Amino acid sequence: MSPLLQIKDLSVDFRLGPGPVHAVRGVSLDLHAGETLAVVGESGSGKSATLLSVLRLNPEPPCVYTGGEIRLDGRDLLALPEKELRSVRGNDIAMIFQDPMTSLDPLQRVGHQVAEVLRRHRGASRAEAREEAVRALGEVGIPEPGRRARQYPHELSGGLRQRVMIATALVGRPRVLIADEPTTALDVTVQRQILELLDELRERHGMAVVLITHDLGVVAETADRVVVMHHGRVVESGHVADVFEDPQQDYTRRLLAATPRLESA
């Protein structure tokens, strides 16, 4: 089966000083419909820079795409004009960011922010978008969605704000969801709830999910395949069970060894 999304030999530089920073170096990966692909590595390994490139969300400048292709349905997203790329964002590919408090507009009610996706991408009327936004908030497990839709981000807990972000990403029914450390700021119980919700929604809507994380425990529980990045390169990839049980690279072995474990007494 052909991949839904292909990244081929992608290279990304950030030109901030006397010389470029080579953030992504010849990265290639495939994403298939309906699967969860985890991209792991320590901070600065190039995970987010790679996946932000899919929607060209790295700031230009200082970001410069120096090579490679990112293909969806045969179209190279790096070559699309901005107007065409805007139609891909939210429609075909959506993204959840690390911190919902900085991603949500503090001056807009959360229901309005979800509804805006439908008005912009689907041409829905104000009333239709408002009704669908409330339904979307309910689908991601927000209690009393009609009331919550009228609230501002600061009136919600961290877990509810993250659910609003998920509703905003999914209301346009994208085929690909990129989740960049979606549970970083949440406590352990809420983390599990969010990850279970993402998996449930993936199955329900047949999406492909890319999960950017440094938490190998999350990878073991939620992902089908894993890509390990180090210094801007892919150093290992494969099915999660294969990579975890028999890592081929020293860096992967060190990552696994650094994972805290509860040892029996």
Note the pLDDT tens digit of each residue in 164-220: 999 999 888 899 999 998 877 677 788 888 888 889 889 988 899 999 988 888 898
Sign of the CA dihedral running 140, 214, 73, 71 = positive
Sheet containing strand 233-239, strands side by side: 93-96, 176-180, 208-213, 36-40, 225-230, 233-239
Mean pLDDT value of segment 232-240: 96
State the Cα–Cα distance between residues 149 and 110, nearest whole angstrom.
5
Residue 4: per-residue pLDDT: 93
At 100 the pLDDT is 75
> What residues does each domain of the chain span?
1-92+176-259, 104-173
Residue 264 pLDDT more than 60? no
Tell me the torsion sign for CA atoms 166, 186, 32, 103.
positive
Tokens 């190039």 belong to residue: 46
| HSE-up of residue 23 (Cα within 13 Å, Cβ side) | 21
- pLDDT at position 38 is 96
Rg value, the chain, Cα = 19
Cα distances (Å, whole numbers) of residue 144 to 101, 159, 164, 178, 239: 20, 15, 13, 27, 40
Report the pLDDT averaged over residues 107-116.
95
* pLDDT 10s digits, 240-262: 999 999 999 999 999 998 877 65
pLDDT for position 191: 82
d(CA 204, CA 201): 5
Q: Region 132-158: what's the mean pLDDT?
A: 94
- Return the half-sphere exposure (C-beta side, CA atoms, 13 A cut-off) of residue 220: 7
Q: Is 90 exceeded by the pLDDT of residue 124? A: no
Q: What is the mean pLDDT of the chain?
A: 90
For 32-77, strand residue ranges (E) read 36-40, 63-72, 75-76
User: For residue 265, is pLDDT > 60?
Assistant: no
pLDDT in tens, 38-93: 999 988 899 999 999 999 999 988 999 999 999 998 899 999 999 899 889 988 99
pLDDT value, residue 97: 85
- Assign a CATH topology to domain 1-92+176-259: Rossmann fold (3.40.50)
What six digits make up the tokens of 182?
A: 């979606």
